[in-house]
Amino acid sequence: MSNLLDLLVAGLATGAIYALVAVGFTLLWQTSQTINFAQGEFVMLPAFLMLALMHAGAPFWLAIILGILLSLLLLGLGFKLLLVDPMLRHGVLPLAIATMALAIGMKEAVKQFFSAEASPFPSIVPAGDISILGRVVSLQSLGVLALAIAVVIGLTALLNRTSIGHQMQATAQNPTVARIIGVPVERMILLTFLINAFLVALASLLITPIYLAKFSSGEVLGQAAFIAAIVGGFNQVRGAIAGGLLIGVVDNLAAAYVSTQYRAAVPLVLLIVIILFRPQGLLGRPEERTV
């Protein structure tokens, strides 16, 4: 039983990071029909930007701020203007393939200009343990979980409680009508890309101390986030959150109780089951767009 609790905490901490990445995934899909297969590499890159800044002499806190700003510029604005806008007019599939090419390009560029080897990355959550109900729990796990949940709650509040959030939702649900009633659709779409860039930069900051900074680290994350988004519901932010947490927990339980070799297969089996029996995802809406 105590082992199960440890697994749940660790799974939720990882799952919360998956959720951040998956939320970005669904936001891009909803507002601009962008299936970003480079989303994992989007998580990998900010850590390297921050490392490069630290190597240039910046302290960690400054590297975080500048790294997030650079991510907004490159992975938000740059991604939209240079890849999504020119490709989207040719359809969803060419854009999806272009993001696959982008993923390969980003990996190879980091490998070439930084290193093929893994690099250590400092943690923003202090090391150490605390005792909860007689159980020793790592501060890092709790910190990651708390920070990820705080961001998700903040984002949900932004989407549901603010005018900008309502305009973003209107853009996602029906851009034509949104435009007619005066919503600045283009600006809302750009904002979505910036939010996605912020989320992946944050996920990068949280996951890299555990996974280490490596050019290939986005492969696992991208796949997990994609599965999480579909399992939870591709057209709902709350679905992506639930999907992320679920995949994190299922992955850990599968590794512990099924086998390490098959752990990667278990979330995929879950994905197949969901597609067969509930194609809109666990919390998705059938009347809206689904994949």
Partner 1 sequence: MKSGIFAALLLVAMSASGAFAQGAPIKLADVAELSGGGATVGNNWKNGIDLAIEEINAKGGLLGRKLEVTHADSQSNPGVARAQVQKALDNEPYVLLGPGYSGSVKVTSPLAAEAGITQIMGGEAAELTQGGNKFLFRTSFGQQSSMPKVAKYVNDELKAKSVAIVWVNNDFGKGGRDVMTKEFAKYNIKVAADISTEAGQADFAADVSKIKAAAPDAVFIYLNEEESARILKELKRQAIAVPLVGETTLVGQKVVELAGDAANGARGHVGLTTDAPVDLVKAFREKFVKKYNYVPDHNGLKGYLAIYMVKATTEKMGKVDAKKFADTLHGLTIKAASEPGILMDVTFDEKGDIDRQGFLVEIVEGKQVVKQVLPKLN
Footprint of partner 1 on this chain (CB under 8 A)? 2-3, 6-7, 10-11, 13-14, 111, 115-120, 127, 129, 136, 138, 140-141, 209-212, 214, 216-217, 220, 251-256, 259-261, 263
**At closest approach, how far in Å is the CB of 97 from partner 1?**
23
**At closest approach, how far in Å is the CB of 134 from partner 1?**
13
Three-state DSSP state, 140: helix
Tokens of 195: 């939010």
**At closest approach, how far in Å is the CB of 254 from partner 1?**
8
Q: Which is nearer to partner 1, 176 or 260 (CB)?
A: 260
Tokens of 37: 């297969």
Residue 239 in contact with residue 281, Cβ under 8 Å?
A: yes
**At closest approach, how far in Å is the CB of 59 from partner 1?**
18
Residue 141: which region, alpha, beta or left (left: phi > 0; alpha: psi -120 to 50)? alpha
Q: Which is nearer to partner 1, 127 or 180 (CB)?
A: 127
**At closest approach, how far in Å is the CB of 264 from partner 1?**
8
* Eight-class DSSP state of 119: B
**At closest approach, how far in Å is the CB of 10 from partner 1?**
3
Q: Which is nearer to partner 1, 127 or 276 (CB)?
A: 127
* Eight-class DSSP state of 70: H
Q: Which is nearer to partner 1, 136 or 181 (CB)?
A: 136
**At closest approach, how far in Å is the CB of 54 from partner 1?**
14
Give the residue from 281, 279, 84, 288 showing the smallest Cα distance to 173: 288
* Eight-class DSSP state of 114: T
- Amino acid in position 55: H
Q: Which is nearer to partner 1, 3 or 176 (CB)?
A: 3
Radius of gyration of the chain (CA): 19
Q: Which is nearer to partner 1, 2 or 163 (CB)?
A: 2
Residue 33: which region, alpha, beta or left (left: phi > 0; alpha: psi -120 to 50)? left
d(CA 118, CA 214): 5
Q: Which is nearer to partner 1, 12 or 195 (CB)?
A: 12
Who's near 16: CB < 8 A, 6+ residues apart? 144, 145, 148, 149, 152, 244, 245, 248
